[in-house]
A and B are shown apart, each in its own frame.
Chain A
Amino acid sequence: MNNNTDQKTLDSMHAEHGKTVGQPFCQDAKFSTRNVDVFYADNQAIYDVSLDMGKNEVIALIGPSGCGKSTYLRCLNRMNDTIDICKVTGQLLLDGQDIYAKDQDPVLLRARVGMVFQKPNPFPKSIYDNVAYGPRIHGLTSNKAELDDLVEESLIKAGLFKEVKDRLESPGTGLSGGQQQRLCIARTIAVQPEVILMDEPASALDPIATAIIEELISELRKNYTIVIVTHSMQQAARVSQRTAYFHLGKLIEVGETNQIFTNPAHDLTEKYITGRFG
């Protein structure tokens, strides 16, 4: 999609699309996905999802378990490629380039579109090596001093540097849960991605560690597009600018987060966020 789509064109696109309520498209799209279907063998998990993710935007994907939000998220950096029976169709464009094109190297794509998982998963290596791992394999630095700088910069951006600067050679697995998750974020940032995907990044953390991660997300938004899957309604309301509601593999409603949490347009969204599903 043209990144400079004007409001009038956007309005007509929303109206024509018709299936999803609200505003699935945006003016300054980093990611544009159209008519995405995902199948696990004969089972369809995602039905005809069209959604844009804007530059410097945090967009929250919400919905009940099994609604397809994580499956959709994993399409965005081709994590589903690792599942043999998974088939993705439709158009997924990052800066206008098809991420499922035959000549697209998924490893390079994942450097541009990083991912943070539910459970912190640091490598069984030192704090330093956890962050340096990606830059090393992608050859992002040419000498030790540059690598040192990149590790420090990534740890600063992840809000962890002050806490670990005197023990960079200690194992990453020795950190607390919240610190480990920030280490994973530092590891993701170190390869200089453009988009960060987060799958329930704070669900295993206590409220203080969660608050630190949420602060970090707001800070990271200045430089990255962030797509976050969360089961916490309050978290979605706090960190995102837009929220997308999935139900049984379909994208039901997308809108400004404030609107979704005070006056959703679709009955299914209302039922989900108010806890009216039995």
Chain B
Amino acid sequence: MDNLDFNKHTSKTYNQELEDIRNLLLNMGGMVEKQVQKAMQSLLESNKKMAKKVIKKDLGINAMEVKIDEECTKIIAKRQPAASDLRLIIAVIKSITDLERIGDEAEKIAKNAIYLIDKSFKSDYFSDLENLAKIVANNLTQALNALARLDPDLALKIALEDDRVDDTFEQFNKEMISVMALNPHDLKNLVRLSWSGKALEKIGDHTKNICEYVIYLIKGKDIRHLDLETIKEEYF
């Protein structure tokens, strides 16, 4: 049942309540997307002020998660949602957990940026990290688009893209290990760089989870921990 109308309930108030939590979710998605972008920018451009701002803004994301949770709880208590409405609420509750964790990963990148800026550390490997960040940020944007448009095809496409994120991270990680072996004096700085790569890889995992919730919401199938290629054949 791909065609879901969340604004066709007999109760207009209910329509509004569901619309409100969808809007809050998309706002939170936008905030998190910006956090990842700014955190990476602060690291690549050695912008300490920007990194500090990212850390401060994470509190707003945490507050947003709590607010959306409260709104979902109210809807469950008041409306006892069923079918696609129930799946929407579940998908929202699950998605905001992943968005909040993406926010935490962005904060980690910003903290690493501050550390590296304080050590005046620059590396050629920033560009490899930037490549990874571009794939991750693009996937996150597309996953949020799939969520906004309720587009399961786009969600599946992006979920499948996570393999590319993992491969790119693996390659970056191998390089980091070699560089660390050759430059033991820079070990502390290189570890921070490596941690930033790991944070990006985790953002990729959370993005994939969000895509899976979009598919659950639209198709009604919980595809977590299943082989995505099989899912593609069976449900698309």
Point out residues on A near B: beta carbons under 8 Å. 233-234, 237, 261-265, 267, 269-271, 273-278
Q: Check A270/B1 contact, CB under 8 A, given A262-B86, A275-B10, A275-B14.
A: yes
**Closest chain A CB from B1 CB (angstroms):** 6
Contact A262 B82 (CB under 8 A): yes
Residues of A within 8 A of B1 (CB): 263-265, 267, 270
The reply to whether the CB of B85 lies closer than 8 angstroms to some CB of chain A is yes
**Closest chain B CB from A239 CB (angstroms):** 15
**Closest chain A CB from B218 CB (angstroms):** 11
Residues of B within 8 A of A275 (CB): 9-11, 14
Q: Check A261/B82 contact, CB under 8 A, given A267-B1, A270-B1.
A: yes
How far, in whole Å, are A100 and B86 apart by their CA atoms in the complex? 42
18 contacts between A and B (CB under 8 A): A233-B80, A262-B82, A262-B83, A262-B220, A263-B1, A263-B83, A263-B87, A264-B1, A265-B1, A269-B83, A270-B84, A271-B8, A273-B82, A274-B81, A276-B5, A276-B8, A276-B10, A277-B10
Residues of B within 8 A of A267 (CB): 1
**Closest chain B CB from A256 CB (angstroms):** 13
**Closest chain B CB from A113 CB (angstroms):** 30
- Which of B79-125 touch A at CB < 8 Å? 80-87
How far, in whole Å, are A271 and B11 apart by their CA atoms in the complex? 13
How far, in whole Å, are A262 and B81 apart by their CA atoms in the complex? 9
Q: Check A273/B83 contact, CB under 8 A, given A262-B220, A263-B220, A267-B1.
A: yes
How far, in whole Å, are A270 and B1 apart by their CA atoms in the complex? 9
- Which of B56-88 touch A at CB < 8 Å? 80-87
Contact B9 A274 (CB under 8 A): yes
**Closest chain B CB from A238 CB (angstroms):** 11
Residues of A within 8 A of B84 (CB): 270, 274
**Closest chain A CB from B21 CB (angstroms):** 15
Chain B, Cβ-Cβ closest to A237: B82
Contacts A264-B1, A273-B83 known; 7 new A-B pairs at CB < 8 A = A233-B80, A261-B83, A262-B86, A263-B83, A265-B1, A274-B82, A276-B8
**Closest chain A CB from B220 CB (angstroms):** 3
Residues of B within 8 A of A233 (CB): 80, 82
Residues of A within 8 A of B86 (CB): 261-262
Residues of A within 8 A of B221 (CB): 263
How far, in whole Å, are A276 and B83 apart by their CA atoms in the complex? 11
- Which of B1-49 touch A at CB < 8 Å? 1, 5, 8-11, 14
Residues of A within 8 A of B82 (CB): 233, 237, 261-262, 273-274
**Closest chain B CB from A258 CB (angstroms):** 11
